Amino acid sequence: MNKNEVTSGKGAERLIKIALHVSPLLFLWKPFMGGLAPAIIWYMYRDRIPGIDQAGRKTMRLQLIWLVGLLLFMGILTVTKSYHLQPDWLANSGRSILTGFYLANVLNILYQLIRTLTRL
């Protein structure tokens, strides 16, 4: 992509679409940024750039699903630990399962980015 293409309409739209799909990776830096950054990008450009509204809705839906799943898992871990109901396998592998959630989220975001890049 050359400099003129970036400043033109198509290049800028492409960069914004890429930013929309990469922005959920900010959860690695600050957990709340994974949902906040794509929401801001989607809100700012949903009426101006064709395709951003649909892509933003998909990204926000994905982040919401991950958030609900993570909160459910954390809640189950907290309740079972506080009442000493955790089976041995869960007590010993809770951190591994949580790490798996994060890795699955990163892989899903990268998959969405690759799909976006191949469609542009």
Residue 18 confidence (pLDDT): 87
Residue 5 confidence (pLDDT): 45
Residue 43 confidence (pLDDT): 92
Q: How confident is the model at residue 118 (pLDDT cuts 50, 70, 90)?
A: confident
Encode pLDDT of 64-111 as tens digits: 887 888 788 778 777 777 666 666 666 666 667 777 777 777 887 788
pTM of the model: 0.64
Which spans in 23-87 are helix H? Answer: 33-45, 52-82
Encode pLDDT of 9-22 as tens digits: 788 888 888 888 88
Residues 6+ apart with CB under 8 A from 26: 33, 34, 37
